[in-house]
Amino acid sequence: MAENKRQSVGGKVQGQGPAGTVTGPGMAAAMVPLEVALSGAIGARVRITTAAPASSTLEGTLFTACPITNLVAINTSTPPPTPITAANASQAQAGDYHIIPVSRIQSFQLLSLAPSSNNADGPSFTDAYPALHALDIRALKAREASAVAKLQEREARRGKGVTKEAQDLFDAFSRTMPARWDGTSIVVADAVIIAKPYRVDDCRPLVAGDTAALMRVRKVLEMERKKIELRNASAAIGNVGNFARPAGAAQTGNNKDTRNSAVAVPSHLGSSPGPGASGQRKGG
């Protein structure tokens, strides 16, 4: 039945009639819509000619014809010398696909029929190579849950209504010990809470008498605050240097232009006396 169906399609797609229809030789009255003919030729070797102004002719395997978007896809890569099977599908040449609107097709010709299919209704997804497998819904749901959990964890690590300095302190603690937000306060290892403005004196233990955890957190906090102060001081110095540099002056590693423009030494103090001047003082 499938072979008879292909033969009937092959007998109709020799040329294109008016208004996007396809007719067979000597069958001017039997018109088939172009979309129907293309759908019946999926998997076959065809030659498609597009209309002007960008007229071209493509020859290859008709990959699909979509009735919703009115687009066809043709694979113009050279077919392998031997039929594609499950054993050699991985070595088959990659496709070279072209998407063509049905409205731009001027004519198309069926060169060879699609490979025979075990399905009585024609080619199906079971005939595809490489083989198409059912989606693992459980694996996809697990992947989705993992991605959502990572996003929620990232959001939980972001403080709400806190300064950049507070977020930097939180991130620093998170690199060495567990930390979480409790409003605008930082809870470290569920043992010490650091309240605003996140100074050493703002640390207090959650369990009375836990001085070891308190001292450790205070030490880390003091070290991280010094790092932040050094970064801020370096940034401030860089901004001052950029502001003091004259317009058009080249930036150098030691900022000589900036220092020379900022400090002016009077000529009568900065220059050494010449021999003439020395002789005049002696003579005087």
For residue 220, what pLDDT band results from cuts at 50, 70 and 90? very high
Domain 2-127 has CATH 3.40.1360.10: no
Range(s) within the chain of domains with CATH label 2.30.30.100: 2-127
Q: Which of 134-143, 150-159, 249-258, 264-273 has the weakest average pLDDT?
A: 264-273
pLDDT of residue 262: 44
Average per-residue pLDDT in the chain?
73
For the cut 60, the answer to whether the pLDDT of residue 79 exceeds it is yes
- pTM for the model stands at 0.40
What is the amino acid identity at position 179?
A
pLDDT digits (tens, 9 = 90+) for 221-234: 999 999 988 888 88
